[in-house]
Structure 1
Amino acid sequence: MQEEGRDASRRRPGSTVRVRVRDLDGGSTRDRDDRLATEEPLEIRVAWPGAPPRPIVVTMRTPGADFELAAGFLRSEGLVTRADDVVRLAYCTDASLTAEQLYNVVTVDLARAPAEPPSARYGAATAACGVCGKESLAELEIRGCQPVLAGPVVEASTLCALPDRLRAAQDVFSRTGGLHAAGLFSPDGELLCAREDIGRHNAVDKVVGWAFLQDLLPLSGQLLVVSGRAGYEICQKALAAGLPFVAAVGAPSSLAVDLAKRFEMTVVGFLRGERFVVYSHPERTTGLPADADDRREAGGEGAARPV
């Protein structure tokens, strides 16, 4: 597949922007430069032979890895299934686009029409919540999603080390403090891919898109770590990529846990320091205290054994 950019003379938005701030600390005040994480809209369009490009979603994102984001979104939504479904990814060259819109529209040319062409259910997606409320668990089954493979078994000590390894790979976060991250890890804790974005769902799409474009799916032998909470949209995207294990620094939602149980995924929350909570399929964790065996599958935070 081809990946094409815009005219090099046009400046692409960066992942951060410089601003001037007034910093008040106790009794002192000073003016200084600061950096903020960039937030810009990205419109994803799709086209296939005999069909003109059509917009399917607008998401607020941090510029960078835009093609991976587009590919990951399409894979997560079931609009593509194999890497060769995508012929070309390119920034849109419509003459009607304003200077502010350059590099904010990506067109994905498909080899063939999707089995179910995108419908009007796609609309604006915010960085906070992703494309929410459009699919139920039953619809995932109708779409053909299957329970994940057995997947890896991860040592508790390895799992506890992953948030720090992910944080070490967050270059933009270190400069702004304003981004989420998603990291793909091997069972022994090797970081395979890390992506940042102002939207947690975008960070996951970028990771999935990275793997998809290299024809690495399904990711049945790896685990996903996210810097925030694990909501439904995070687990849905992990399921689409065949990931059997999702770990989050924050809490999962009830629907995320319902999805994980139905599709046999392991979901871990509150992964901080030497503690975590396993909400589903604890057989993929090992090295826990012996007396935790009956308590590590949690119905809620209090029902699990801190590790």
Structure 2
Amino acid sequence: MTPIARIPVQMVSGEERREASDALAIEEPLEIRLNHVGPEGSEQRVLSITMRTPGHDDELAAGFLFTEGILRGAEDLREVRPHRPDAPAPGRTNVVQVSLHDHVTVDLQRLERNFYTTSSCGICGKASIEALRAQSPFPPALPGHPPYLSSSLLHRLPQRLRAAQDGFEATGGLHAAALFDASGERLLLREDVGRHNAVDKVLGRALLDGLLPLRAHVLLVSGRASFELVQKASMAGLPCLAAVGAPSSLAVELAQEAGMTLVGFLREGRFNVYSGDWRVV
């Protein structure tokens, strides 16, 4: 269950006003610390601070590091754990430590960017568009290769996503990302105030479970399809990304380069195919 907060509010309807309580999505910062072996021995650095909904922080950290190209697979990870001080306070922590195996080489200069992100924009501070184009460890999806997806299957996915959005049902303020197999069965769903965080949590779980590459799956997101979400999906080897909202022009360009089927406006019995239309039968 996605954690929520309840606060007192004044509810106004017409000229009437009454006291009530409202459920809100929780938004807190998460600091991701990276432990690895550098040129001068063991190093630790703060790699990212992102605003997120608490929960599944290990998945978020693993997914973020993978989709940024720092991890090539689960075998690079030594440990992902919450950081707690010597005298921990009760409750959750907002720091997660990721330790890599000694064989992993981290070229942090290549990742030149400002790693502070907000819940509404996961790529703010990127040095350039070129820095965004992380190279997937998996070859791109090729035309003529399955899965083939029927339009009737795609039409069913938004309802299956919506039915499992407990946090959105309570707050109305959370994005969701869900992983489906080629038969339309929902395998994973995560919610977060940031759409990019929800995707990282899903892909992080798949990474930790040894499911990558996701060659026979569909990723559905509850909002729009940005360049960053297409990049994350491409990194995981996904052949299809579908969105309830609109894609951006750069998202379409990257999907075409990656051989990915990109579907937008998937709602109310309709959708547009912006890339890879041969996969929709």
Deviations 1:115-162 (A, max 9, x none): 343345242111101024446368637676642253411110110111
Match of 1:127 in 2: 119
* Rounded Cα–Cα distance in structure 2 between residues aligned with 1:251 and 1:279: 10
**Residues 99-248 of structure 1 mapped to structure 2, 5 A cutoff:** 103-112=93-102, 114-119=104-109, 120-132=112-124, 133-134=126-127, 136=129, 140=133, 146-149=139-142, 150-248=145-243
- Give the gaps of 5 or more residues in structure 2: none
CA pair 168-208 structure 1, distance change in 2 beyond 3 A: same
- Residue of structure 1 aligned with 2:272, choices 270, 274, 277: 277
Deviations 1:79-127 (A, max 9, x none): 1112121111111134599x69961110001113543433452421111
* Rounded Cα–Cα distance in structure 2 between residues aligned with 1:84 and 1:68: 15
- Residue of structure 1 aligned with 2:69, choices 78, 81, 89: 78
Deviations 1:1-58 (A, max 9, x none): xxxxxxxxxxxxx721110000011232111011100000001111124423211111
**Does the CA-based 8 Å contact 1:48-1:113 persist in structure 2?**
no
* Rounded Cα–Cα distance in structure 1 between residues aligned with 2:95 and 2:73: 23
The TM-score with structure 2 as length reference comes to 0.90
- Give the gaps of 5 or more residues in structure 1: 1-13, 287-307
Q: Identity of paired residues, percent?
A: 49
- Residue of structure 2 aligned with 1:58, choices 35, 49, 52: 49
- Residue of structure 1 aligned with 2:32, choices 44, 54, 59: 44
* Rounded Cα–Cα distance in structure 2 between residues aligned with 1:193 and 1:26: 42
**Does the CA-based 8 Å contact 1:185-1:193 persist in structure 2?**
yes
* Rounded Cα–Cα distance in structure 2 between residues aligned with 1:144 and 1:193: 22
**Does the CA-based 8 Å contact 1:151-1:222 persist in structure 2?**
no
**Does the CA-based 8 Å contact 1:89-1:108 persist in structure 2?**
yes
CA pair 71-271 structure 1, distance change in 2 beyond 3 A: same
* Rounded Cα–Cα distance in structure 1 between residues aligned with 2:27 and 2:13: 27
* Rounded Cα–Cα distance in structure 2 between residues aligned with 1:284 and 1:123: 35
Q: Which moved more, 1:136-145 or 1:249-258?
A: 136-145
Deviations 1:172-204 (A, max 9, x none): 111000000000001111000000000000000
* Rounded Cα–Cα distance in structure 2 between residues aligned with 1:199 and 1:82: 24
**Does the CA-based 8 Å contact 1:56-1:122 persist in structure 2?**
no
The TM-score with structure 1 as length reference comes to 0.83
**Does the CA-based 8 Å contact 1:180-1:199 persist in structure 2?**
yes
Asked if residue 24 in structure 1 is aligned to residue 19 in structure 2, the reply is: no
**Does the CA-based 8 Å contact 1:39-1:63 persist in structure 2?**
yes
> Which residue type is aligned with residue 115 of structure 2?
G
